[in-house]
Structure formats: C-alpha cells, structure tokens
C-alpha cells in the first residue's frame, strides 16, 4: 500500500468521525422538537402562520381569536422555507428534516463530482465537507440557509455537464432566492458564466429563474407589499467592516487547506469557479449586523466542489490528506462545535442547552423571551419572536427616521407590564460590558424598560446554556 493510500485512509477515518458527530447531533435535534440556534423560533413561528398565509400579516396569531396578538413577527425571509416547514405538525421537525436532506444532497453532489478519483477519495472529500465548520452547526438548522444552498448546488450540477441545462439551473436559482435572497449572488455569478459562453442559454437561465420565482409566488399567494416590508425593508441592516473582517478571517483559517490547494493547482474556469466567486460575495455580506458563520456555507460548498473536480490529481497526494486532517483539527479547536474541545467555550454557532426548554416551561404567564423558540417548543406563541431584529430596526428608527411602528408598540407593552416576566440569556444590567451579539439583540430602550419595570431578577433553574443560564425578570 502506498503512502498516499495510507494517508487517505487516515483522512477518511477522521472525516467519517466528524460527519458522524454532526449527523448524530442533527438526528437528535430533530427528535428534540425545540430550538438549538438563536433565531429558529422566529422561523418556526412564521412557518405556523404560513399555514394560513399570515406570516407577513401584522398581528396575526396562530392561536385562538381571543388570544393575545403578536406585537412583532419577524418573518424576514421569502415564503418558500416557511411554506415547507409549515407542512406537518411541527416546524422544528419538518424544517430540520428539510435542512438535513439539503445538506446530505450537497455532500452527495461533492462525492459525485469526485467519483473519477475512486470511492475512497470521493467519499472522503464528501464526508470531510459534511463534518466541517460551519456545516456541523448549521446542517440541520430551522433556517432557510441549507435549502437555499442545496438548490444552488443543484443549479451548479445542472450546468456542470456536457449539455448544460440552463433553464433548469435558472429555475433552481429562482427557488433558492425564494428561500433566502443571498442566493441571488451565486445565481448572478452562474448567469455571467453561462452568458459568456452562450447568450441563448443565458436567456433560458433567466426565463427559468423567473419561472421559479413566479411558481413560489403563485403557490404561496402572499401580499406583495407585506412580503417586501418584512423581507427587504426590515432586513436592510447596516454593514460594517469590523463585523466582516473577523468572519472573513475565520473562513480563511477554516478553509485554508482547500483554498491553498486550489491556488497551487491548475487554475479552473468551470461553472464551479463562478460559484466560488458568487460565494465570496456572500461571505463579504457577513459584515451585516446579525451575520454569523452561516455566511460562508456557500463558500465551503463551492470550494468542496472545486476540490472534488481535482480529486483525481489529489488521489496520489500524501500532503493533501495529511494537511486536511490538521486543518480540520484547527477548525474544531477554533470553533469548538457542540463543546467537544474540553476547556474551551463553544465559538460562533454554538447550540443552546436543551434544559432551557424546561426552564421556560416552568415560568407561568405571558413571557417576553430572548430566544422565542423556547416558547414555541412549549406550545406558546411569542408576542415578540425576534428580539434581535426588533432591536436593530428600533435603532434605525431612532437614528434615521425609519418607519417602524412596532418599535413603540413593543416598548409600550413592556412599560405597561403586559408581560408577566422577561427571560434573557444574559444579565441585562451588564450589556455594555458583555457586548457582542447580546448587545445587538437588546436595544438600550428595551433593556432599560425591562430593568425599570421588572426588577426582580433570578436565574432559571435547570438552564445551563454552557454554564451561562437564563435570567428571569419579574414584576414586583
């Protein structure tokens, strides 16, 4: 057996172990029927409302007509993922299952492209992507990212063939955009590639894209103005270089080995190259407030496809599998998904402790919960389902005159004592000291309203959250 074969077998063992780590957590999360990432609750809430086509309707409620009406429903994505996740009894199950299937499809596409190198190399490259950062944390998220990613990769596959299927690729991109708008950037890169080779094929791709968008619009039948307001206006959050820089650096560190491999091997001008360019544009959008490691999911998939195309050349290499194992170890150490590295706190994309569900269930009454998914897991509809998005738009309301009636509405409810308790993941009195994402989630107006009207603070029993716990603010 050659040294390269030994190295690839060692890499395969590591890749398989990490892939099993991820898939085991994804399957467990499906059975949990609760949130594991911040923001999943808002998506699950919108999915339930989507059953009646009400996710973009102001004050729409999932509950009975006499129930308290929601004050702020984010629903800040196009309707496709909401519509899919709303099928069945529980969006935490259906939505997570849909994301997991999309993730497995992308891994299959990577293996298919690498198949000329043999089953060992092809399987290893695919498993390595499946067990990589940020796929480990986001592979089963109740978010539209993985659905959009799967549709985008399917479009690349449709174009990466002897007779490219431009209309099909365009339709798939149209569907991806109707899951998450950032898919438009890779879509435009793919369109530029097609147009540079065949203008008629480019026209077919555009027609397919419009067909995909219109198909979703017709099936879901949402009011255009309300959809635009939620998906576009509320999402137009500031972009700052100091937010983009750390994310770009993390992506470069995590993807250093495959990036270096692509640089030193023969330059490529395939459709995958165009996808890489579009994926870089998505990564740069990570400077937007609220962005996290999901913004380099596209780049990780695009680079995995590019490496798969070079797999026959890499099969005889010892350096690539050995360096890839070291690169995987570095990524796990940096991000520590699922808290697998002892003594290090989990990094971006950390999953929350499931004990939080029981902790919130034990608190009676009407609650304002930072992670609204904890309410959804207990069958209780949140009146505010995304504290972060509310806070960022409240800031825009104050600084630029952005029209945001929900800003005053939520504050009035807190100040009047409409909630029986407020549940936060951090001490609201120390927000300036804590900073980071928590500082973005709690606008000072909201934090001060809570501290002024709900001064009795305690720690929720049974909530760990990697040791941080939950803070419960009650009225006197």
**Rounded Cα–Cα distance for residues 452 and 305 (Å):** 54
Q: Is residue 54 in some structural domain?
A: no
Give the residues across from 458 on adjacent strands: 472
282/375 same-domain check: no
Asked if residue 146 and residue 223 are part of one domain, the reply reads: yes
pLDDT at 67: 61
To 10 degrees, the CA torsion angle through 331, 39, 28, 17?
-10
The string of pLDDT tens digits covering residues 85-105 is 999 889 999 999 999 999 999
Instruction: Read off the pTM.
Output: 0.95
Query: Does one domain contain both 334 and 363?
Result: no
The reply to whether 152 and 240 lie within a common domain is yes
3-class secondary-structure state, position 382: coil
More confident residue, 460 or 18: 18
Instruction: Indicate whether 285 and 323 sit together in one domain.
Output: yes
The rounded distance, in Å, linking the Cα atoms of 203 and 22 is 40
pLDDT at 467 > cutoff 70: no
Query: 313, 339, 365: which is the final residue of a domain?
Result: 339
How far apart CA 155 and CA 187 sit, in angstroms, is 9
Instruction: Look up the domain containing 372 and give its range.
Output: 355-474
Would you say residue 424 has pLDDT above 80?
yes
Classify residue 345: in a domain, yes or no.
no
Q: Is residue 344 part of a domain?
A: no
pLDDT in tens, 229-258: 999 999 999 999 999 999 999 999 999 999
Same domain, 444 and 376: yes
**335 with 362, same domain?**
no
- 444-453 vs 387-400: helix crossing angle, rounded to 10: 110
Predicted confidence (pLDDT) at residue 389 exceeds the cutoff of 60: yes
Which residue, 76, 52, 40, is CA-closest to 372?
40
Residues 262 and 364 in one domain: no
User: Is residue 55 in a domain?
Assistant: no
Q: What pLDDT, in 10s, does the model give residues 296-319?
A: 999 999 999 999 999 999 999 999
Q: In this structure, what are the phi and psi dihedrals at residue 227, rounded to the nearest 5 degrees?
A: -65, -45
**Furthest CA-CA distance within the chain:** 75
Report residue 465's pLDDT band, with 50, 70 and 90 as the boundaries. very low
| Whether 332 and 367 share a structural domain | no
The burial of 27, by beta-carbon neighbours within 10 Å (0-12 exposed, 13-18 middle, 19 or more buried), is given as middle
Quick one: 412 and 327 in the same domain? Answer: no
Average pLDDT over residues 349-372: 92
Q: Are residues 102 and 188 in the same domain?
A: yes
175 within a domain of the structure (yes/no): yes
Both tokens assigned to 458:
């305690």
For residues 8 and 124, the answer to whether their CB atoms sit within 8 Å is yes
**Residue 248 and residue 187 share a domain:** yes
53 domain-assigned? no
In a domain, 211, yes or no: yes
Give the mean model confidence (pLDDT) for residues 407-428: 95
Indicate the residue among 314, 339, 364 that finishes a domain.
Answer: 339
43, pLDDT greater than 60: yes
How many domains does the chain divide into? 2
For 345, phi then psi, to 5°, come to: -70, 145
């Amino acid at each position: 057996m050659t040294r390269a074969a030994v190295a690839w077998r060692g890499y395969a063992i590591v890749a398989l172990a990490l892939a099993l780590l991820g898939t085991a957590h994804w399957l467990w999360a499906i059975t949990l029927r609760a949130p594991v990432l911040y923001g999943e609750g808002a998506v699950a809430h919108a999915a339930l409302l989507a059953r009646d086509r009400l996710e973009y309707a102001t004050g729409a409620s999932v509950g009975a007509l006499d129930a308290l009406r929601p004050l702020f429903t984010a629903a800040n994505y196009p309707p496709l993922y909401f519509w899919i996740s709303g099928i069945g009894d529980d969006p935490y199950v259906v939505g997570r299952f849909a994301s997991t299937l999309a993730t497995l499809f992308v891994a299959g596409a990577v293996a298919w492209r690498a198949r000329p190198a043999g089953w060992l190399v092809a399987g290893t490259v695919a498993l390595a992507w499946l067990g990589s950062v940020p796929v480990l944390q986001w592979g089963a998220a109740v978010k539209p990212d993985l659905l959009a990613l799967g549709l985008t990769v399917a479009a690349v596959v449709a174009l990466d063939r002897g007779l490219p299927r431009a209309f099909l690729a365009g339709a798939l991109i149209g569907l991806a955009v109707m899951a998450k708008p950032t898919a438009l950037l890779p879509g435009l890169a793919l369109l530029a590639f097609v147009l540079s080779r065949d203008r008629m094929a480019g026209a077919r791709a555009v027609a397919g894209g419009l067909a995909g968008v219109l198909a979703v619009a017709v099936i879901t039948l949402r009011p255009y103005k309300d959809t635009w307001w939620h998906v576009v206006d509320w999402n137009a959050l500031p972009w700052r270089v100091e937010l983009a820089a750390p994310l770009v650096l993390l992506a470069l560190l995590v993807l250093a080995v495959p990036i270096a491999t692509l640089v030193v091997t023969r330059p490529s001008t395939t459709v995958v190259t165009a996808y890489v360019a579009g994926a870089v544009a998505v990564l740069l959008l990570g400077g937007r407030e609220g962005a996290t490691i999901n913004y380099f999911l596209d780049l990780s998939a695009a680079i995995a496809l590019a490496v798969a195309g070079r797999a026959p050349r890499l099969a005889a290499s010892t350096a690539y599998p050995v360096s890839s194992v070291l690169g995987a170890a570095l990524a796990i150490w940096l991000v520590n998904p699922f808290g697998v590295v002892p003594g290090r706190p989990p990094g971006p994309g950390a999953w929350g402790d499931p004990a939080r569900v029981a902790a919130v269930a034990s608190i009676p009454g009407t609650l304002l919960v930072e992670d609204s998914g904890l309410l959804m897991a207990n069958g209780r509809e949140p009146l505010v389902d995304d504290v972060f998005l509310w806070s960022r738009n409240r800031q825009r309301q104050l600084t630029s005159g952005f029209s945001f009636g929900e800003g005053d509405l939520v504050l009035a409810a807190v100040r009047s004592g409409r909630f029986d308790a407020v549940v936060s993941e951090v001490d609201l009195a120390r927000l300036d000291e804590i900073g980071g994402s928590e500082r973005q989630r709690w606008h000072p107006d909201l934090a001060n309203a809570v501290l002024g009207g709900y001064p009795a603070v305690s720690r929720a029993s049974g909530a760990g959250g990697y040791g941080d716990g939950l803070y419960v603010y009650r009225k006197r």
